Amino acid sequence: PILSLRDGGVVRLLQLDGGKVLLADAASPPSSPDSLLHLWSGSAGDVAAPAGTLLTLEGGSSDTYLNILAQGGVETGLLFGDPSGSNIGRLIYNHDGDRFDFWMGPTSTRRLRYSAGAFAFQEETTISTTGGDLALSPAGNVKFGAHSAIGAETVTGYITIKDSGGASRKLAVVS
């Protein structure tokens, strides 16, 4: 190691040739970091970060989190980039709207939004739960596929739905 700091015999900081850094807060850390920066508080077992990993968080037998903190009224999240754009994909939490937004694509289009029991898709279809009901609100039609009736079919039950005016309708379930 180029640099090794110990506290009562416990390695707290280890920097190896090649620039890799290990920060540990428990005894018996690995002798070599898995990535450029390896934060370690216990062994996760016989597992290592894949090649190309820049940051490893290893929590051992305790819950392990990546915590992004910010004041209210702002967004926090993870951004993914490549040569075509620095935020080509995004997983964003919006604190004001109390929702998650998933963005992706060359124009970084919001593809999915989740807030308080409802999913909204880029294609303007919403799936939500209100009053115990599951509401599917597409911009177009809901399609279940083609069916050709045969003489031996019998009705074995019904699925009750509400139309856009709120009237209950029944769909037959056949065997």
Reported as a pLDDT band with limits 50, 70 and 90, residue 69 is: very high
Distance CA 71, CA 95 (A): 9
Distance CA 17, CA 35 (A): 13
Residue 25 tokens read as 């807060």
Residue 127 tokens read as 């799936």
Q: 169: Cβ–Cβ under 8 A, 6 or more apart, which residues?
A: 160, 161, 162, 163
pLDDT reported for residue 67: 92
Reported as a pLDDT band with limits 50, 70 and 90, residue 68 is: very high
pLDDT reported for residue 32: 82
71 or 130, higher pLDDT: 71
DSSP state of 106: T
Tens digits of residue pLDDT in 77-92: 998 888 877 888 888 9
DSSP state of 121: E
Q: Is the pTM of this model over 0.95?
A: no
Q: 44: Cβ–Cβ under 8 A, 6 or more apart, which residues?
A: 58, 59, 60
Distance CA 136, CA 161 (A): 10
Tens digits of residue pLDDT in 95-107: 888 888 888 876 6
Q: How many residues are present in the chain?
A: 175
Tens digits of residue pLDDT in 20-65: 888 888 777 888 888 889 988 888 888 888 888 999 999 888 888 8
Averaging pLDDT over each range in 6-15, 118-127, 132-141, 165-174, which range is the top one?
Answer: 165-174
Compute the mean pLDDT over every residue in the chain, rounded to the nearest whole number. Answer: 80
| Whether residue 147 has pLDDT greater than 70 | no
